[in-house]
Chain A
Amino acid sequence: MGSRIGRRALLGVYAALVLVPLLVMLAGSFKSTSDLFSNPFSLPEEWRFGNYSEVLGSADLSTAFTNSAVVSTCSVTLTLLLGSLAAYGVARIPGWPGWAIYGFLVLGMSVPAQANMIPQFVLFDVLGLTDSLTGLVLINIVTTLPVAVFILAGFMRTLPREIYEAAALDGVGPWRTYRSITLPLSLPSLAATAIFLLVIHWNELLYPLLFINDPEKRTLPLALLNFQGEFLTNYPLLFTGVVVASLPLVVGYIFLQRFFIAGMTAGSVKE
């Protein structure tokens, strides 16, 4: 692709296109509105840490932060648990039944969320799961189970049969084989899936929007969306909110980027 200089220039331009908006936002979160509007590209004239205490002090956002942490942790853990059990099952059931169950579960990947949200809403209403974090965890689990099973079963099917035959000869039952053999061997793909799920669950907006009315039960993306309504053009405060909301994933990303990238692409290209 062109000369070396052209290549460098292109990569440099794209890096700038990615980074400049993020840096403007980060710097903006320490500015006053007039400072942000008059000097968007410079460092703050005067560092206003007050933006952060205002955002963190706002009951709405700190509650939302806790809710998001609880919902994401539970959703990731339970999806991984149920997904790995299902993946193990379908990888070990020989013949068409294994593939049929797998296909049925994985089919969910091609159903857009808007397609079944209305009956889901009705069901949640009937079961009293609206305005509850449990409901959010539940819907997170079922919507991401398909992709979790897809990735994990894809990995578990590559484990050599001989391991299972040896385990069977030693008289080890299916459950212990799952716990002591398959799970430990699947750690890399479990970790990748966990990160993949974490990014989805942490950023999920549609279901909280549908199911949550109570401000006490809001998650971060929903709280941010409401925040925007309240502080329509107060970009510094909006940016502060965004920084606070993104911080856990971004910091994690900086330390674990290899795994993040593996997670977000797991299952897409066969090894």
Chain B
Amino acid sequence: MSAPSPSPVKTGPAPAARPPSRERGPGRARGLKRRYGHPAFFLFPLPALVLYVIFFAIPTVQAFQYAVTNWDGYSAEYDSVGLDNFRQLAGGDDLFSNAMTNSLKFMLVVVVFQTLFSLVLASMLTRNSRSSTLLRAVFFLPTILSSVSVAFVWKFIYDPNFGLANRALESVGLDALTSSYLGDDGKAIYFLALTQIWFHTGQMMVIFIAGLQQIPRELYEAAAIDGVSRWQRFRHVTWPMIAPATGIVIAYTTIQSFKAFDLVLGLGGNPPQGSLDILSTRIYTSFANSEFGYAAAESIVFMALIALVTVIQRRTVKLTQSGA
């Protein structure tokens, strides 16, 4: 659930400059208090901060420390191996490069199609009518299911012998299109992507609907008066207005697809077969195989990749916004 928030970056230093109403204060407030408010306010985030630092922030930093060791998780002693883990990741680890390729393929397919589908559905359901409210609710429904549940349903759909997909194809005479789905090493990752898209398109659709509903109607009325075509209306009114929502959907979808761990475990078994292995499951498998140091190095690469993709996306969104 990590829609990378634009706010902390943008809003950072801005409100600091304005000293709160010097004249109106009771006069007793001294410098510090005037500038930083009642000191008691600092007590409120404290419990959250303590837990967050101990159980989240410090472990995140420690991942970097483990990443340069050969620790197996159990031995009392272990050695620093410098950047060896990373060299191995970059060079000769077929399992890791396979997982990396799969993750990227999966992410690309999911981001492109999920964004497209959710935008198309949203644009059809923007107006509030009884039928569109009902359809929105139906399309959103899969989102609240657990990944394990979704995995079981799709395992049955993909079952090569009894599965729904092949049965449906056969019943309309398209026997030629039947497939072994997850059993087909070349295509398995795309069928995994299809399941992910089924799982989360409704959620992204709702974000688009919220964005579309904020477009003032006057803009469309003005466009109608100018007699622009439907495509021009989309290109020059709708698209620039929903650029922020698009940015959020793409960012959300990317991170969600990198984290598709549960779904892979449910569909691909534990540990997942190579054709479904993605970065998150690879790290987990290394960890389960007691390669703590190595798994930590993999997780650093994973974190870096997510950071990189997030930065690229922010840039792209800004470019499209200013260019539009």
A interface residue numbers (CB < 8 A to B)? 1, 7, 10-11, 14-15, 17-22, 24-25, 28, 36-37, 40-41, 82-83, 85-86, 88-90, 92-99, 101-123, 138-139, 141-147, 149-150, 154, 173-175, 178, 196, 199-200, 202-203, 205-206, 209, 220-221, 224-225, 228, 235, 238-239, 242, 245-246, 249-250, 253, 257, 260-261, 264-265, 267-270
Residues in A neighbouring B143, C-beta threshold 8 A: 199, 264
B interface residue numbers (CB < 8 A to A)? 1-5, 7-8, 11-13, 15-16, 20, 35-38, 40-49, 51-52, 54-60, 62-63, 66, 73, 117, 120-121, 123-125, 135-149, 152-154, 156-157, 162, 164, 167, 198, 202-203, 206-207, 210-211, 214, 244-245, 248, 252, 255, 258-259, 261-262, 265-266, 270, 279-280, 283-284, 287, 292, 295-296, 299-300, 302-303, 306-307, 310
Closest 6 CB pairs of A and B: A89-B44, A119-B59, A203-B146, A119-B62, A109-B2, A86-B48
> For chain B, what secondary structure do more than half of its interface residues adopt (helix, strand, loop), or is it mixed?
helix
Residues in B neighbouring A225, C-beta threshold 8 A: 148, 265-266, 270
A265→B206 contact, CB < 8 A:
yes
Bound Cα distance from A235 to B7, whole angstroms: 46
A142→B45 contact, CB < 8 A:
no
Task: Taking A18-B202, A89-B43, A143-B56 as given, write out 9 further A-B residue pairs in contact, using a Cβ cutoff of 8 Å, ordered by the A residue number.
Answer: A14-B121, A21-B198, A40-B162, A82-B47, A94-B36, A107-B8, A108-B56, A123-B55, A264-B206
B306→A110 contact, CB < 8 A:
yes
Bound Cα distance from A130 to B57, whole angstroms: 19
> For chain A, what secondary structure do more than half of its interface residues adopt (helix, strand, loop), or is it mixed?
helix
> Given that A21-B153, A265-B207 are contacting pairs, would A120 and B138 also be in contact in the complex, using a CB cutoff of 8 Å?
no
B59→A116 contact, CB < 8 A:
yes
Residues in A neighbouring B20, C-beta threshold 8 A: 94
Bound Cα distance from A85 to B49, whole angstroms: 11
B48→A105 contact, CB < 8 A:
yes
How far is the CB of A2 from the nearest CB of chain B, in Å? Answer: 9
A144→B1 contact, CB < 8 A:
yes
B48→A82 contact, CB < 8 A:
yes
B141→A221 contact, CB < 8 A:
no
Can you report 15 residue pairs joining A to B where beta carbons are below 8 Å apart? A15-B138, A85-B45, A86-B44, A89-B46, A93-B37, A94-B15, A94-B36, A109-B2, A116-B60, A118-B63, A123-B55, A154-B7, A249-B145, A250-B144, A264-B143
Bound Cα distance from A22 to B144, whole angstroms: 13
How far is the CB of B163 from the nearest CB of chain A, in Å? Answer: 8
A93→B42 contact, CB < 8 A:
yes
B299→A109 contact, CB < 8 A:
no
* Nearest B residue to A178, CB-CB: B44
Bound Cα distance from A260 to B54, whole angstroms: 31
B261→A114 contact, CB < 8 A:
yes
A110→B2 contact, CB < 8 A:
yes
Residues in B neighbouring A221, C-beta threshold 8 A: 146-148, 262
Contact among B123, B167, B207, B270 with A1 in the assembled complex (CB-CB below 8 Å): B123
Bound Cα distance from A200 to B306, whole angstroms: 21
Bound Cα distance from A265 to B209, whole angstroms: 11
B152→A269 contact, CB < 8 A:
no
> Given that A112-B258, A175-B40 are contacting pairs, would A118 and B148 also be in contact in the complex, using a CB cutoff of 8 Å?
no
Residues in B neighbouring A267, C-beta threshold 8 A: 3, 5
Bound Cα distance from A5 to B187, whole angstroms: 34
Contact among B47, B56, B164, B266 with A21 in the assembled complex (CB-CB below 8 Å): B164
Residues in B neighbouring A199, C-beta threshold 8 A: 143-144
A200→B1 contact, CB < 8 A:
yes
> Given that A86-B45, A88-B44, A269-B214 are contacting pairs, would A257 and B137 also be in contact in the complex, using a CB cutoff of 8 Å?
yes
Contact among A93, A146, A269 with B248 in the assembled complex (CB-CB below 8 Å): A269
B2→A147 contact, CB < 8 A:
yes
Residues in A neighbouring B41, C-beta threshold 8 A: 89, 92-93, 98, 174
Bound Cα distance from A103 to B8, whole angstroms: 6
Contact among B51, B156, B295, B307 with A145 in the assembled complex (CB-CB below 8 Å): B51
Bound Cα distance from A96 to B162, whole angstroms: 61
Bound Cα distance from A110 to B302, whole angstroms: 11
> Given that A40-B167, A112-B302, A114-B299 are contacting pairs, would A206 and B49 also be in contact in the complex, using a CB cutoff of 8 Å?
no
B259→A82 contact, CB < 8 A:
no
A18→B141 contact, CB < 8 A:
yes
Residues in B neighbouring A196, C-beta threshold 8 A: 1
Residues in B neighbouring A98, C-beta threshold 8 A: 41
* Nearest A residue to B20, CB-CB: A94
Bound Cα distance from A265 to B204, whole angstroms: 9
A174→B38 contact, CB < 8 A:
yes
> Given that A22-B153, A115-B63 are contacting pairs, would A109 and B5 also be in contact in the complex, using a CB cutoff of 8 Å?
yes
> Given that A18-B198, A99-B11, A106-B5 are contacting pairs, would A253 and B146 also be in contact in the complex, using a CB cutoff of 8 Å?
no
A235→B265 contact, CB < 8 A:
no
* Nearest B residue to A103, CB-CB: B8
* Nearest B residue to A267, CB-CB: B3
* Nearest B residue to A200, CB-CB: B1
A142→B135 contact, CB < 8 A:
no
How far is the CB of B124 from the nearest CB of chain A, in Å? Answer: 6
Residues in A neighbouring B283, C-beta threshold 8 A: 114, 117
Bound Cα distance from A110 to B313, whole angstroms: 14
How far is the CB of B199 from the nearest CB of chain A, in Å? Answer: 10
Bound Cα distance from A147 to B246, whole angstroms: 20
A268→B252 contact, CB < 8 A:
yes
How far is the CB of B157 from the nearest CB of chain A, in Å? Answer: 6
